[in-house]
Amino acid sequence: MAGKGFFIDTTLCTACRGCQVACKNWNRNGTIPTKNTGSHQNPPDLDGNTFKLVRFSEVETDGKLAWYFFADQCRHCLVPPCKDTIEGYVDDAVIQDEATGAVVFLEKSKEAPHEEVTSSCPYDIPRHRENGPMVKCTMCIDRVSNGLKPACVKVCPTGAMNFGELDEMIALANERLAKLKPKYPKAQLLDADQVRVIYLVVDDPKKYHKNAVASLNPGIDRKTALRRMARPAKGLIRTFVGV
């Protein structure tokens, strides 16, 4: 598979949140006023100014405690449903970069129905920026196209975040998986054949984050579902003919 990819090894992540902050730094993203709600995870969720979020999850299995960290971000799907959804409503609002495979929302994406774009994502990633477009991780396409690594990868101290040619990332992921499997029988790569951002986890992925693996319409409510059924034919045709 051509293009670029990430390999995120959660076994090396210490939740220092360097990636979360570096992402905001590079993208000049602002903040929201937060409160401590009894967790270290903050902001509480991805938002119009947060493209990358380290999720914290305390789980106890058979009396043994684990604290999992999941550096959540857009997976840059090989076939991105968000793109399909947006294009069902607006032209020139999203690109899938040929060289890298990065899925990038453009200004015009603000014209697409925001909730529907979000709910069409199997990982619940896209967010709407107040008075602005739909936003999410851009794969730091401005950095990458100038020979730099994405900001989150550059800053990661432990090697949890990796970036390169997708084939190389898949090879690296498989190598790490083989190494960890004897000690962690539940070790697995998440949706590795469908995305450009491959996570390695060593336990049930749901224990890391409810949307760690693709689920059908993760955030969809009844209203959105109904609206999707009635969406313009243009998008449906595109989907069916694979344009």
Q: Is 37 in the site for another protein (CB under 8 A)?
A: yes
Return the number of the residue (68 or 123) whose C-beta is nearest another protein: 68
Least gap, CB of 15 to another protein (angstroms): 5
Distance CA 90, CA 51 (A): 22
Distance CA 133, CA 127 (A): 9
Return the number of the residue (45 or 92) whose C-beta is nearest another protein: 45
Q: Which stretch binds another protein (CB under 8 A): 59-67, 77-85, 94-102, 195-203?
A: 59-67
Q: Is 61 in the site for another protein (CB under 8 A)?
A: no
Distance CA 87, CA 95 (A): 10
Q: Locate tokens 């899938």: which residue?
A: 96
Least gap, CB of 48 to another protein (angstroms): 13
Q: Is 15 in the site for another protein (CB under 8 A)?
A: yes
Q: Which stretch binds another protein (CB under 8 A): 10-18, 73-81, 122-130, 208-216?
A: 10-18
Greatest CA separation found in the chain?
53
Return the number of the residue (37 or 146) whose C-beta is nearest another protein: 37
| Start-to-end CA span in the chain (Å) | 20
Phi, psi of 224 (to 5 degrees): -65, -40
> How many residues are given for the chain?
243
Q: Is 83 in the site for another protein (CB under 8 A)?
A: no
Return the number of the residue (24 or 154) whose C-beta is nearest another protein: 24
Q: Locate tokens 């840059």: which residue?
A: 76
Distance CA 163, CA 161 (A): 7
**Residue of 3, 5, 19, 20 that binds another protein (CB under 8 A):** 20
**Residue of 61, 79, 91, 157 that binds another protein (CB under 8 A):** 157
Label residue 36 exposed, middle or buried (CB < 10 Å: 0-12, 13-18, 19+): exposed
Cα–Cα nearest to 149, from 17, 4, 27, 41: 4
What is the distance, to the nearest Å, from the Cα of residue 180 to the centroid of all Cα atoms in its chain?
24
Least gap, CB of 24 to another protein (angstroms): 5
- Bond from prior residue into 43 cis (ω within 30 degrees of 0): yes
Q: Is 58 in the site for another protein (CB under 8 A)?
A: yes
**Residue of 3, 7, 8, 18 that binds another protein (CB under 8 A):** 18
Least gap, CB of 42 to another protein (angstroms): 5
Q: Is 236 in the site for another protein (CB under 8 A)?
A: no
- DSSP structure class, residue 126: -
Least gap, CB of 152 to another protein (angstroms): 13
Sites of contact with another protein (CB under 8 A): 12, 14-18, 20-21, 24-25, 30-40, 42-43, 58, 60, 65-69, 157-159
